Chains A and B, each alone.
Chain A
Amino acid sequence: IFVSGISASFILLVLSLVLETQALTPTHHLTTTDVARLQALLSQPFTDLKSAYYSVVGLSKLGISVADAATCRFIKSNLDPSSVESLFFAAEASQALPGCEIPVSNDTRDLLLATVSEDSTASQIHQSVSALSSLGLPLASQEVVSALKARISKEDNVLTIILALQTASRLSQQAELGEILEEIEDLAARLDDLGGVYLQFEEGLEATALFVSAAYALSDHVDMEPPIDQVIQLVNSIFSKKSWDSLSEAFSVASAAESLSSNRFHVPIIVSAQGPAAISHSQPFLRLQVTNVLCKPLSSASVLVESATATSSKSAILSQAPFTLREYVGVFELNFMASQPASGYYQFSVAIAGDSRFVANHVELKVKVSTRVSINNMDLSVVDKDQSIGPKTTRVEYPAKAKASFMADSHQIFAMTFQLVDETTGVELTPHQTFVRLHNQKTGQEVVFVAEPDSKNLYKFELDTTERKTEFDSISGTYALYLMVGDATLENPILWNVADVVLKFLDEEAPSTIQAKTLYTPKPEIQHLFILPEKKPPTVVSNEFTALVLSPFLLLLILWFKLGANISNFTLSPSTVLFHIGHAAMLGLMYVYWTHLNMFQTLKYLAIIGSFTFLAGNRMLAQKAVKRYSNCFIFFFLVCKKTLFFFPKNSVYWPISIRFDTSAVFFFFNQCRIFILLCVDLIVTLLCAKHNLLNIDNFIFMKNNKWETYNNL
């Protein structure tokens, strides 16, 4: 365990180092449509003061000002001067609206000042301080700081500390905000890292976004860099959700976006290619959009290609080449085709400089350079197998088709050679797909072969009719020959009907019509075969054997009669009679068990009848024994000695009625012992069975008076 733990931690350490050395870029960011959606959500008509606050202040954070007199009237009319929360919403919203003033009375001011104390909740303190600051009223910063500190020490949860940070950013800069500033670091440590990509609070998106806006607001206020080094992971978490459930969530995302785009320390940048990152002769410019998280272009940035290497050959094409900015569009572009790259994929390493605040300003991009292909020197020929007649080659130019059709039978080979070159540079290309397709127009058959290039990049295709007859199903006829050329880096994939080829196969054993492969027809139905009952012997045989098996009983009776066995000694004492009745009852119970009962019921009845029979039988046998040994003094003496040894006279083991039947008593005690042990054993077995610790199915064979084949056992 320890070794695996150590090796796991070592691997994790190595991995983390590797991950840190790679520059992390945001995987999730808001696009312009997302920003528009956020704006639309915040622009919804508001129903109360709270939603008005979220809308107005949220839109102002997105840079959109709502200059609407109706909004100002709405705020003023819905204001409740006796509630701190209402004052907070109204004050903040009115500050975002130009020319909207909230009338303040002395009572309002006193109410707000009174709320600043240790007994109010953090949100109340935040709301009153913000309202005081927005309304331009004086406040005692030191009091606020001490109230906040007391609050944080009482309630240590994330939202309290975030509100404290927000509040502290509204206080004067002379106040002692050092301790509250330290809370940023502690709170940042509480963020959960998800796979190194996301960093968020377990309380959710809103808490994370509010933390970001609060931390940067306070850091800007005191002009100290916040100790947040995983800004990109925060960006991923906050901007991964593209549709928001509530106004408060949208508001928190908008304020986080605003603080991340305009704070003094960390500005994450988003670099994305405009359209697909593909370059060709018709489209020689690589265009990049460089924006902040709110999708606003960054004017002060300068974009530079640090290196561009081909992925296949790893040779560097460009180094330290700058992008130029197209002013009106806000897009950076680079004419990559000017460096005349060969077609293929290139790995670009782009650096964005211009502001020391930029975070994630090294981006890796994969750029595709595509080209047009042209086919040169397409030569078709029919070669004799024994090489006796020289080949006749026909040259075909793309996109024309060969005028004459070519004939090939079993003695000949049809051959095709061609070259694929780049249209502009003339460099030989080897695209991924070079197929030769033969299509029989009459039957609809098509066979596809691959044309392979040789060492000099010359493509060759040979068709030997005898070798390939299985693919064609030996069907002779006219086949249209197509050449298909395709690749991801080709702009003009080619499907060219080059010629018609008449193929003659020797043995025409194929069927005249070809049936399409019936893959999806219904299969024959499977008829379920129920288990046939086992073959039983005829009833006559069974009956005969039953009689045969019962016949030895007659033999027994005859033998006993001959031996003179009799029941003359049968005493009619009650115990004897009862014993025989009990014994008969037990045998009857066996029969009833066979026909009706299960093991548990049988044992229940058996216990009752059995104990009764046992007592009666014990009595009876004891009497018999006494009768037998009543004349034997020595035995009596011996038995007395034994019983005296084991059973003292005044012990409980001496039942009064058979006090003199000493041997019987001894016998009784032993019998009891054995019987009790056996009973205990049986009871334990059955309890186990009842509680499914044993397989009770083995006890039950006849269910519903039907045979269960013993195969189920």
Chain B
Amino acid sequence: MSNSVISVISRFLEEYASSTPNKLKVIDAYLLYIMMTGALQFLYCLLVGTFPFNSFLSGFISCVGSFILAVCLRIQINPQNKGEFLSISPERAFADFLFAHTVLHLVVINFIG
């Protein structure tokens, strides 16, 4: 049982390393970074307490929002998905990513207090 899980995971990692283009790997590294930052913030909140709750919320939502936007960018940039995003060029996707981040940061800075 555990054997098959391990073999599935190793196979997945192999496929990933070989078949994903570099650009997507860059974005994946960014996603991992965002996720870790969010997880660490949540850990702090669990351990120490929610004292400046609005700050915690703003930081956590910033991580979550950035993660989502980066995922959207990854989906839109992926050449395998070009059929579904004919009207959206990668540059357009990146520009949307930047604009959405501006709005997200505006809200986050407002809420961080």
Pick the contact of A594: B37, B87, B102, B109 (CB < 8 A). Answer: B109
Residues of B within 8 A of A553 (CB): 33, 37
Stretch at the interface among A86-94, A138-146, A559-567: A559-567
Dominant SS at the A interface?
helix
Asked whether any CB of chain B lies closer than 8 Å to the CB of A327, the reply is no
CB distance from B19 to the nearest CB of A (A): 15
> CB-CB < 8 A to A549: which residues of B?
37, 40-41, 44
Which one of A121-129, A151-159, A269-277, A699-707 is at the interface? A699-707
- Nearest CB on A from B46, distance (A): 11
| A590-B95 in contact given A552-B37, A559-B32, A707-B52 (Cβ < 8 Å) | no
**CB of A200 within 8 A of chain B?**
no
Q: Let me know if B51 and A534 touch, CB within 8 A.
A: yes
Does A263 make an interface contact (CB < 8 A)? no
Task: Kindly supply a per-residue 1/0 record for chain A positions 580-606, scoring 1 wherever the CB is within 8 Å of any chain B CB and 0 otherwise.
Answer: 000100110011011000010011001
Per-position binary interface string of chain B over residues 95-107, scored 1 when its CB falls under 8 Å from any chain A CB and 0 otherwise: 1001100110110
Query: With a CB–CB cut-off of 8 A, which chain A residues contact B22?
Result: 563-565
Residues of B within 8 A of A194 (CB): none
- Segment of A71-79, A422-430, A616-624 engaged in the interface with chain B: A616-624
**A439–B39 Cα gap in the complex (Å)?**
82
Beta-carbon contact of A701 and B111 below 8 Å: yes
Does A667 interact with chain B (Cβ within 8 Å)? yes
CB proximity of B24 to chain A, nearest CB, Å: 10
Chain B residue with the shortest CB-CB distance to A639: B89
Instruction: Label chain B's interface by main secondary structure.
Output: helix
A564 to B22, CA, bound (A): 8
Which of B48, B92, B113 contacts A671, CB < 8 Å? B92
Which residue of B is nearest A542, CB measured? B48
CB distance from A695 to the nearest CB of B (A): 14
B51 engages A556 (CB within 8 Å): no
Interface residues on A, range: 35 or more
State whether B32 touches A610 (Cβ < 8 A): no
Inter-chain CA distance A560–B103, complex, in Å, is 26
Minimum CB–CB distance for B98 against chain A, Å: 7
A385→B30 CA distance, assembly (Å)? 100
Contact status of A621 and B109, CB under 8 A, knowing A559-B32, A707-B52: no
Task: Provide the A532-543 mask, 1 if CB < 8 A to any CB of B, else 0.
Answer: 001111000110
Residue among B32, B41, B51, B53 with max Cβ neighbours from chain A (10 Å) = B51
Kindly list chain B residues whose C-beta atoms are within 8 Å of the C-beta of A699.
Answer: 110
Pair A625/B106 contact, Cβ less than 8 Å:
no
Closest Cβ of chain B to A78, distance in Å, is 86
- Chain B's nearest CB lies how many Å from the CB of A700? 8
Query: Which chain A residues border B29 with CB–CB below 8 Å?
Result: 556, 559-560, 563
User: Once the chains are docked, how many angstroms separate the CA of A708 from the CA of B113?
Assistant: 9
Q: Is the CB of B95 within 8 A of A552?
A: no
Q: Shortest distance in angstroms between A355's beta carbon and chain B's nearest beta carbon?
A: 91
How far is B104's CA from A408's CA once the two chains are assembled, in angstroms?
A: 91
Bound together, the chains give a CA A545 to CA B113 distance in angstroms of: 19
Looking at B30, B48, B87, B106, which has the most chain A CB atoms within 10 Å of its CB? Answer: B106
User: How many angstroms between the C-alpha atoms of A675 and B103 in the bound complex?
Assistant: 11
Task: A710 to B53: give the CA distance in the assembly, Å.
Answer: 7
- From A550, which residue of chain B is reached at the shortest CB distance? B37
Contact partner of A563 among B25, B87, B102, B105, CB < 8 A?
B25
Q: Which residues of A contact B113 (CB under 8 A)?
A: 701-702, 707-708
Q: Is the CB of A606 within 8 A of B106?
A: yes
Chain A residues with CB under 8 A of B111 = 701
Check B78 for interface membership: any CB of A closer than 8 A: no
Whole-angstrom distance between the alpha carbons of A618 and B89 in the complex?
Answer: 13
Q: Determine whether A529 belongs to the interface, using a CB cutoff of 8 Å to chain B.
A: no
Contacts of A670 in B (CB 8 A): 87, 92
Chosen A-B contacts, 18 in total, with CB atoms closer than 8 Å, are A534-B51, A535-B51, A552-B32, A555-B33, A556-B30, A563-B26, A563-B29, A564-B22, A583-B98, A621-B95, A622-B91, A663-B89, A664-B91, A667-B91, A667-B92, A670-B87, A699-B110, A701-B54
Q: 9 nearest interchain CB pairs?
A: A701-B113, A556-B33, A621-B91, A559-B29, A552-B36, A545-B44, A625-B91, A537-B48, A552-B33
